[in-house]
Amino acid sequence: MSSRRTNVILTILFLLGLPLTIWAHDVLETKTTPPPVPAAPQRIVSLAPSITETLFALGQGDQIAAVSQYCVYPPQAQSLPKVAGFSDINFEAVLRQRPDLVVLPIDKTANQKELERLGITVMTLDTRNLKGFLRTVQELGAATGHQTEARQVQDRIMEAIAQAELMAAGRPRPTVLFSVMHSYQGFGYITEITAVGQDGFFSELIDIAGGENLYKGPLSFPKLSREAIMTLNPSIIVDLIQGTEQVDQALSDWKGLTTVDAVKNDKLFLFTDQSDTVPGPRIYLTITKLSQALQPQAWAQASQDAQALTITE
């Protein structure tokens, strides 16, 4: 009798608890299922420099609630709350911003899943190549209602591409070693660099600007030793420098590779603008600069033609 009474009580408790369990599950699902991207997001968290710069270029600066610590342009971005590093995100800090949209690079899959689990609406964008970045501008413009501004950003980039391709048309393509990072060892010469491989944003820029990427291997960003650089023997070297304070040191180190054609022929170009390191709206400036470095004769001829036309008029 006691056993039967116990079973009855457990059954009643189960039946009473079942609706509570269903209710709790529904509440949890409500919290962890992100709403769709809002028509006009008002509190955006941007987790990549390229995305932050693009949002500002589209006129969405006032709607950006927080950024990553590497988002430093435009200057207004530096005063915004920082909620992430390169790949790590402070999820609690993100939640405190009450975002209606978080935008992050497409390769941050783990971060996307965690944000969505917290009920946060996420938009992922691909800026790993030029085509992807141009699509990013379009998608952000559509998501924020700034399609006109998006077209203006795209047009500036497309005009720079068209001009660079015109300058390169029918001309020899120099071999280019494009460095994005190198080691300062105090030996007076480069000991190791991280170069641009065949698959990626900067390799596309080399091609557009009229050059040939010297590295033909499978890696996106290979590490090359001093000996490898000498063996490859590029006719032009482009080096991205983080901050003007390293220019003298970098120039001195490169000059130590006296057998390399680019060094012997004074074809070493140090790009120091922060815009050169970010696949953002200002990339049209980098395209033009790179075109002038790789095809100087074409630019000189264009300048002469323009002067002759002015005199004739």
> pLDDT digit of tens for each residue in the chain (313 aa)?
444 444 443 333 333 444 444 433 443 444 567 788 888 899 999 999 999 999 999 999 999 999 999 999 999 999 999 999 887 899 999 999 999 999 999 988 888 999 999 999 999 999 889 999 999 999 999 999 999 999 999 999 999 999 999 999 999 999 999 999 876 556 677 889 999 998 778 999 999 999 999 999 899 899 999 999 999 999 999 999 876 557 888 888 898 899 999 999 999 999 999 889 888 999 999 999 999 999 999 999 988 766 665 666 5
Look-up of token digits 């300048």: 303
* Short-list 305, 279, 263, 1, CA closest to 125: 279
Q: Which residues pair with 178 in a beta bridge?
A: 238
Tell me whether strands 268-271 and 212-213 are parallel, antiparallel or unpaired. Answer: unpaired
| pLDDT reported for residue 200 | 79
How is residue 287 annotated by DSSP? Answer: H
Structural domain spans, the chain: 44-145, 170-307
Give the DSSP letter of residue 35. P
Residue 239 parent element (H or E): strand 236-240
Q: Residue 305, class by beta-carbon neighbours within 10 Å (0-12 exposed, 13-18 middle, 19+ buried)?
A: exposed
- pLDDT score of 13: 36
Say how far apart CA 157 and CA 281 lie, in whole Å: 8
Please report the beta strands in 162-235, taking only residues with DSSP state E, as ranges in sequence order: 175-182, 192-195, 212-213, 223-225
Structure tokens belonging to residue 186: 């105090």
Q: Identify which of 239, 181, 180, 237 has the alpha carbon closest to the alpha carbon of residue 213.
A: 237
Question: 235: exposed, middle or buried (C-beta count within 10 Å: 0-12, 13-18, 19+)?
Answer: buried
pLDDT in tens, 132-162: 999 999 999 999 999 999 999 999 999 999 9
**Would you state the pLDDT for residue 182?**
77
User: What kind of fold does domain 170-307 have according to CATH?
Assistant: Rossmann fold (3.40.50)
Give the containing element (helix H, strand E) for 227: helix 226-232
Cα atoms in the Cβ-side hemisphere of radius 13 Å centred on 78: 4
Q: What is the pLDDT of residue 39?
A: 84
Classify 211 as helix, strand or coil.
Answer: coil
| Nearest CA-CA partner of 285 in 161, 129, 151 | 161
Q: Both tokens of residue 293?
A: 């470095």
pLDDT of residue 18: 44
Of 48, 50, 58, 45, whose CA–CA distance to 122 is shortest? 45
- Residue 187 is classified by DSSP as S
User: Thinking of the domain 44-145, which architecture would CATH place it in?
Assistant: 3-Layer(aba) Sandwich (3.40)
Residue 82 near residue 96, CB atoms below 8 Å: no
Instruction: State residue 32's pLDDT score.
Output: 61
Buried b (16+ CB within 10 A) or exposed e, 262-288: bbeeebbbbbbebbbbbbbbbbbebbb
Give the integer Cα–Cα distance in Å for 51 and 33: 24
Which residues have CB under 8 Å from 129's CB, separation 6+?
200, 201, 204
Strands 101-105, 44-46: pairing is: parallel
Domain 44-145 matches domain 170-307 at the CATH topology level: yes
